[in-house]
Structures are given as structure tokens and as C-alpha cells.
Amino acid sequence: MAFKNESLINTIELGRAIKRRREELKLSLRDVADVTNVSASTLSRIENGTGKPDADNIARLTTWLDMPVDRVMRKNGNEEEIEPVIYYPHEATPEIVEAHLRADKNLTPETAKALSELFRVAYTQFKNPGNK
């Protein structure tokens, strides 16, 4: 059996999660770097999909995201494989909905992403009905 030189981490997914959390918290790359001990340049490359984080950085970032590392793991190094939806009680509803949309075989990745963003905006607007 030949070893495939492919990452088992879906860095695109990890980058999206970092950017989304960073923007939600209104943090700069430098702010996140200070908290996670991962350099701002590495964070930038991960967010842009060009970085390949090492195991320590993956652990630091998934801890900061409060996200299980298996959320960004590829099965057998296959980026196209759709993972089953797994619930993690600490995850916010928008992340759970996004996982469901990505797992829906009837949606293209672009459509799932667009619907996820629509849900995120609506959820943020309506989650606290008394606060406007």
C-alpha cells in the first residue's frame, strides 16, 4: 500500500472556521496569534487556504475554536468525501446547520456555503428577539 502525500487535515475548512470566529469576535490576525501562539503569518496562510499547519498548530487552533479536531479531518485523505454530521453540544447552532448543509448531497458546495451564510445572518439577527 503506497502512502499518499496528502494532508489529513482539511485546511480550507480550518481556515474558514478561524476566519469566521475571528470576524465574529472582531479580532485581528495578530490578536488571534497572541491568544493561540500561532504566528499571524501562519494564520493568514491557513485562512487563505495556502498554509499547511503542523500538529501543534492544529491542536492550538482547534482548542481556540472549541472545535474537535475531527471536524477538520479528512477520511483517508479524501477531500471530496462527505462526512456524517456529528453533534458537539458546545457548538453553536449555525455551525451545526452548516455541517448539515455541507453533508446534503443534493446541494453543491457553493450552495451549501451560501445557505449557511444566509442562516448565520438570520440567526444572528433573530437569536435575541428582545435585543435590536
> What's the pLDDT tens digit per position in 74-115?
765 444 555 555 556 667 788 888 888 887 788 888 898 899
In this structure, are 31 and 73 located in the same domain?
yes
Residue 42 falls within a domain, yes or no?
yes
73 beta partners = 9
Residue 3 falls within a domain, yes or no?
no
List CB contacts of 75: < 8 A, sequence separation 6 or more: 81, 83
Q: What is the pTM of this model?
A: 0.60
Domain that holds residue 120: 85-132
Residue 107 falls within a domain, yes or no?
yes
In this structure, are 93 and 29 located in the same domain?
no
Q: What is the pLDDT of residues 35-80, one digit of tens each?
A: 999 999 999 999 988 888 898 999 999 899 888 887 777 765 444 5
In this structure, are 60 and 99 located in the same domain?
no
In this structure, are 70 and 107 located in the same domain?
no
**Structural domains of the chain, count:** 2
In this structure, are 12 and 44 located in the same domain?
yes
